[in-house]
Each structure stands twice: as C-alpha cells, then as structure tokens.
Amino acid sequence: MNAIRTALPFLLVGSALAAPPEISNVRAAQRENSKFVDIWYDAADADGDSLFVRLEISDDDGASFSVPAFSLDGDVGSGIEPGEAKHVVWDAGTDWDGEYSDRMRVKVVAVDGTGFPGLEWGGEVEPGGFLLGQDGGAEGSGPSRHVNIPWSYWLSKYEITVGQYCDFLNMAQAAGLLERESSGVYSAIGSGVVENLDGKYFLCGLGDAHHIRWNVNKYEVVMDYTNYPASVTWYGAMAWAQFYGYDLPTEAEWEKAARGPDHGGAGFHQCYTWGDDRDASKANLHTRLSSSGTCAGTKWVGFYDGTQGENGSDMANGYGCYDMTGNADEWTRTLSQHTDTGLVTSFGVADYPQTESLEAERNVYWNHSKPQYILKHGEMIYRRVSGRANGTPQDPSIGFRVCRRYVPAEEPSGD
C-alpha cells in the first residue's frame, strides 16, 4: 500500500508567524494473512504542541478519499505528541471487508490548535478610540459612544467559509469532540470543544439548507458551496474560533474594523463601508438580484452584485476586509441581553464600556442564562455599519469571522 502525505502551509497566530505541524514519511502496509493495516508517519511541530490528527484513505490513487475508516487505533485523534514513527492500526476487515484495490493511498492531516492553515487576515487595527454607533458624519443619527480599544487586533479578511467549517468538523470528529445526529452536529458532553461548556450544544445544521452533509465517513460541502459563508450557531462559531486558537470579535472591534482607518471619529462616519450612498452595486443583499439574475442570496465570500470575479473591482474596505456590508449576518462575542432568574438585562450602545474590556459583563462568556448576542450587518437589508440585531445563540443561520489580538504584557514595576 502506497501513501501520500499532507503538509500544511504556515499561518498567522496572535501577533506573529507560527509554523504549523509538518507530516512526513507516511507509509502503510497490510499485515500478512490479516485485514489489519499498519500506518506510520512522522509529525513535527516547531512549538512542540500536542496535535489533532486524522486519517483519510483512498482506493483510486488519491482522486477521492471516501473509503470508510472508522476503526482506527493508535496515534490518531487528539493529544498526539510530535515524534517519529507515529503508528496507527486500521481494522480494514471491519470497515471495508471484501473490498480490494492496488491503488490505495493514505492521507494524514494534523493541526495544533494554534491557527487555521492559510487563513487570510485584514490589516492591523491599531489601538485607539472611535465613535461606536453614530452614522453619517456630524449630522448622523443614532446613539453613540466613544470607545477606546487599547490593543491591536486583526479580523479575518473574509467570513469563515463552508469549506473551512467542514475542515474543522472533520478534525473535531476524528478527535472525538463532536456528536452527529441526522439534523445537526453537537459538541459532545464534557468534550471541551467550546471552552467552559459542560453540556451538549448545537453547532450547525446538516443538509442542503446548511451546505454541509455527512457522506459515509466525513463531512463534505454540498454542491459548489465551498467558498460561501458558513451558517452556524453562536456555539458553532465559538467552537471553530477556539479550536484554532482565535476568538469572536466584540461589537466594538467589529464596528471599528468595518468603518476603516479614516472614518471612526465624529464628523467622519460613513453609513456603509463604501460611503453614505445606498449604492446597490456594492453589497450582496438577499433581497436583490443582479442584472444577470444570479445573486439572490449569500454568495462566495468577497463577491458583490454578481459581477466581482477574480479580475473584478476590489471591494475591500479600508482594513482590507470583505463583506463587512452584505452577504451574511455575523456573530460577535458581545451580549445584547440576558435573562437571569426571570430578570432581563439589555445592553445598548449608550452604556458600552468606554474602554473595551473582554471582562466587561457584556463580553463575558457563559455567565448568564438565556443569552442573546449582537449580530452585525446583514444580507436581508441595507444595514448600516452601526446596525445591530439580537441573535439567539441556537440559531444555525448566522455567519462569522474571527479575531486575533496583540495585548502587550505589562512592564515590570521595578518595585
């Protein structure tokens, strides 16, 4: 049995470049007079992180990897330490009895939880203040609040795609972190796939409406929806973010990045990422068809009005991010309200902390019963940059992008 390897490109994590795991020297052999297959590989990680490892098997020289492979034992799943001659035993007699091919291939995939391979980022949003809420410059409307964000941060350039979400589901499934039912995917009880969750939480739906399905032995994208924004619950968005070492942006982080570097102060606001005019050619909206009639709902990330292809006009905002107006609604980590012991607490723009804090009540995870979270912009209407809506965390129809931050360590006092 021949084998191929999967090597992952380097990626950005936190404030620096970090090398991902490297898989090499993959080889496999069927035991004589047996239906057991021994698979070996070498795994290296520059930071020495423990790894998540999964295997896929092909019977057509790697054209597809659809051979059922569930009965695996050894160095596969979560908590795998880097090293040479890592060993996995596949019970092919249980999973694939009676089948044979002389064109077998094995693919080994590994991540270390410190970044998603190849994820693209917008530009650095530097520390400083901006006016949250108001739109339209000095004569704009709506409540506002000056908010200082005292750290640099980056948002992913695009909304996380269906293909990227499938990659996560397959890795988390192999690590034993998920439970799959006919209609959806859940975080397993006590799995830790979402930090501090001790119950079973709904991550995303399955089927054509959600563009993801289970096929024999793995999750896959329905039809050609690979580059469309993923539709998941708040728990599903947080699970993806935390699995790769990221976070969801706060409401203030999202809005400051959406406005761009020159439009955050009073008198400089714009209603939309491109300006104050309702220009129907500059956002992909659910309610509007393109002139060719091809753009009735969400489209692949970075796509506007049915016309922006690879060589089309560049609709990135001032920080290099796409779809900050239009396409999908996006989750944030900021509460809009919560209900504890029958008492409802709501959070408006006017009482937002003037210095952004991840420990502020409205940004703290899991502390409240029946939470709702802020959604930003939207595919259904011309929502302004300041637009906000309440999202029930179990709603599996919302998109998201992720955030990474650089918070400098405090200097020693010298005392």
Model pLDDT, residue 152: 96
Model pLDDT, residue 18: 63
In the block, which residue shows the tokens 């210095």?
355
Q: What region, left, alpha or beta, does residue 379 occupy, with left being phi > 0 and alpha being psi -120 to 50 degrees? A: alpha
Provide the CATH number for the domain formed by 124-415 in this structure. Answer: 3.90.1580.10
Count of residues for the chain? 415
- Three-state secondary structure readout of 353-399: CCECCCCCHHHCCCCCCCCEEEEECCCCCCCCCCCEEEECCCCCCEE
Q: Tens of pLDDT along 283-339? A: 765 544 444 444 456 777 887 655 555 444 567 888 999 888 878 889 999 988 888
Residues 149, 130: Cα–Cα separation, whole Å = 8
Residues 295, 160: Cα–Cα separation, whole Å = 19
Model pLDDT, residue 58: 94
Domain ranges of the chain: 11-111, 124-415
- Whether the model clears a pTM of 0.75, i.e. scores above it, the answer is yes
Model pLDDT, residue 1: 29
Going by their DSSP bridges, the two strands 83-91 and 72-74 should be labelled as antiparallel
Residues in the chain with pLDDT values less than 50: 1-17, 287-295, 310-312, 379-382
